[in-house]
Amino acid sequence: MKPRNMLESFNCAVEGFKYVIKTQKNMRLHFEIGVAILLLGILLDLNKIEILILCGTIVSVLLAEMINTAVELTIDLITDTFHPLARIIKDITAGAVLIVSLNAVVVGYLLFLDKFTRQIENGIFRIKQSSWHITFISLICVLSLVIISKLFFHRGTPFRGGMPSGHSAMAFSIWTIVTWVSQNNLLSVLVFVMAAMLAYSRIKKGVHNIWEVIAGGIMGTLVTVTTFQVLSR
């Protein structure tokens, strides 16, 4: 049914976007990455031209994914049996998405390379200038408390499974150390993402449940913050 006015056309457009987001895993992934990259660009203080280039690149990836989805649905609507040409058309549109995505990677690399390099080098320099013994004591405290907690809850072994997750605790302890010492937002975000991925992998492998991982993360963060507050005075 054809929209009767501009408002209905706008609503139809929004519904189409919502449908692709809800049903297409790749679209959700591209959308989430696009938002994260845009926020990172703002955080790193990209200029107006760089932000415009970034927005244009992100939009091109999302448009390519939406067109790919529309073509696939159209082909499925026309024929419900396998046809070589239908397969080729789907492959071509998927290839278009791939090319646009590769272009986005190149654009992101060129825009962020210098800023990433400077930020990370500054953060690493500050870490090198810090007192290493506080970091060492923090990690020992976290590891000891994890083992004691596992013995208390009688779940898992000291170095595998149980409450809380030792991997999560150590990962978020390291994130807290890097954040505290480097005072570098970019480096902190990168290490946080790595810590979160490691924690998620423990859930994915079935070694821990989500609450054990969350408990480990909170423990690692709080113990490390407390250690630095006490010993940095």
Q: What is the mean pLDDT of residues 149-172?
A: 72
Is the pLDDT higher at 139 or at 22?
A: 22
> How far is Cα 226 from Cα 233, in angstroms, rounded to an integer?
11
Does CATH number 1.10.357.10 belong to domain 6-116? no
Q: What is the pLDDT of residue 77?
A: 81
What residue spans define the domains of the chain?
Answer: 6-116, 130-231
Buried b (16+ CB within 10 A) or exposed e, 200-214: eebbeeebbeeebbb
Q: What is the pLDDT of residue 218?
A: 85
Q: Which residue is catalytic, options 15, 32, 65, 212?
A: 65
Predicted confidence (pLDDT) at residue 170 exceeds the cutoff of 60: yes
Q: Which of 17-21, 46-50, 70-74, 77-81 has the lowest mean pLDDT?
A: 77-81
Q: How confident is the model at residue 155 (pLDDT cuts 50, 70, 90)?
A: low
H-type alpha helices, the chain: 6-23, 25-43, 48-78, 84-129, 132-153, 166-182, 185-204, 210-231
Instruction: Identify whether 32 is a catalytic site residue.
Output: no
Q: What is the pLDDT of residue 124?
A: 59
> How far is Cα 192 from Cα 171, in angstroms, rounded to an integer?
8
Among residues of the chain, what percentage have pLDDT more than 70?
A: 84
> How far is Cα 231 from Cα 233, in angstroms, rounded to an integer?
6
Q: What is the pLDDT of residue 180?
A: 80
Count Cα atoms within 13 angstroms, Cβ side, for 111.
24
- Residue 160 dihedral angles phi and psi, to the nearest 5°: -155, 130
Q: How confident is the model at residue 159 (pLDDT cuts 50, 70, 90)?
A: low
Q: What is the pLDDT of residue 60?
A: 92
Contact between 59 and 51 (Cβ < 8 Å)? no
Predicted confidence (pLDDT) at residue 158 exceeds the cutoff of 60: no
Predicted confidence (pLDDT) at residue 3 exceeds the cutoff of 70: no
Contact between 65 and 26 (Cβ < 8 Å)? yes
> How far is Cα 169 from Cα 48, in angstroms, rounded to an integer?
40
* Length of the chain in terms of residues written: 233
Q: What is the pLDDT of residue 162?
A: 66
Q: What is the pLDDT of residue 224?
A: 82
Mean pLDDT for all residues in the chain: 79
CB count within 10 Å of CB 14 equals 10
pLDDT tens-place string over residues 28-44: 888 888 888 888 887 77
Angle between helices 166-182 and 132-153 (to 10 degrees): 160
